[in-house]
Structure formats: C-alpha cells, structure tokens
C-alpha cells in the first residue's frame, strides 16, 4: 500500500518545480530560506533536483532524492525536505511552529496547564482522544 508521500511524488516528471527546505548541514551553515528546485531527471528509484537561482539558471550541483518508507531521502550531507508546492511547505512550517509553542507550553511540569480553563482542558483532551494519542 502506498503512503501519502509516495502518492505525493507519484507522477513526478522532469521539469517539475519543487520546493526545498534545508536540513542537516545545509541548515547548520545558515541556509534557512525555502529554495526553488527543478526536477532534472526521474529514474525508477530516484529523482534528481537542481536548485533554481534568481536569474532562472540551474545549479550544477544536483540533489539525488529517493523515496524510502514514504520519506524523501537525500544521498548527500546537505539535506533537504522536498515539497511539491510552496503552500505545502508553508503549511508544514506553520505546523512545526505551532508544535514548538504547544510543546513549550506543556513542558513546564504541568504548571502552565493549571492556568487553562476547564473548558479548554476538556477541548484539548477531546482532540487528543480523537487523534488517538490518549
């Protein structure tokens, strides 16, 4: 059975525009902005992405990406998370930011939770049960 990410990258073709979020060494070296990439080649197990510069030229360095267990895996030290659209990348970034805020709120040994109203606690509890994490 295909995973969501395998479906997301199904039908990817040379010439498609993708968005690359730096991770690993790329992020550690200060590269933080979302980068435009262009699929230059698609094989059976891999696809290749070149960064698109502001003038429209392509980077000579090509990222080799494979999909393994539903995740895009880079073959090099410079890691990128690949998105099909800028909106998808923005949604993922917003999700990460909200996750960090929630994690920080609940990580104070429960002290902040006591500040919540009973109604808010009931709503959070219902959401967590609905998501199957409780």
**pLDDT tens figures, 93-127:** 899 888 888 888 888 666 777 888 999 889 988 99
SS3 state of residue 24: helix
Q: For residue 103, what are the domain limits?
A: 89-130
Element containing residue 47 per DSSP (H, E): strand 46-52
Q: Verify that 63 and 97 share a domain, yes or no.
A: no
Q: Verify that 76 and 95 share a domain, yes or no.
A: no
Q: Kindly report, residue by residue over 4-35, the tens digit of the pLDDT.
A: 555 567 778 899 999 988 887 878 888 888 88
Is-above-0.95 flag for pTM? Answer: no
Q: Verify that 70 and 98 share a domain, yes or no.
A: no
Of residues 36, 89, 90, the one with CA closest to residue 63:
36
Q: Verify that 77 and 94 share a domain, yes or no.
A: no
The answer, yes or no, to whether residue 78 has pLDDT greater than 80, is no
The confidence score (pLDDT) of residue 116 equals: 85
What is the percent of the chain with per-residue pLDDT over 70, rounded to a whole number? 83
Q: Regarding predicted confidence, which is higher, 48 or 60?
A: 48
């Amino acid at each position: 059975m295909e995973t969501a990410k395998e479906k997301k990258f199904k039908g990817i073709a040379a010439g498609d525009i993708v968005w690359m979020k730096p991770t690993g060494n790329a992020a550690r070296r200060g590269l933080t902005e979302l980068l435009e990439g262009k699929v230059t080649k698609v094989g059976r197990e891999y696809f290749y992405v070149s960064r698109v510069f502001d003038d429209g030229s392509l980077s000579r360095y090509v990222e080799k990406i494979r999909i393994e267990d539903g995740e895009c895996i880079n073959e090099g030290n410079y890691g990128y998370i690949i998105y099909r659209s800028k909106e998808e990348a923005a949604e993922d970034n917003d999700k990460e930011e909200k996750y960090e805020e929630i994690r920080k709120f609940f990580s104070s040994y429960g002290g902040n939770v006591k500040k919540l109203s009973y109604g808010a606690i009931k709503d959070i509890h219902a959401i967590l049960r609905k998501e199957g994490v409780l």
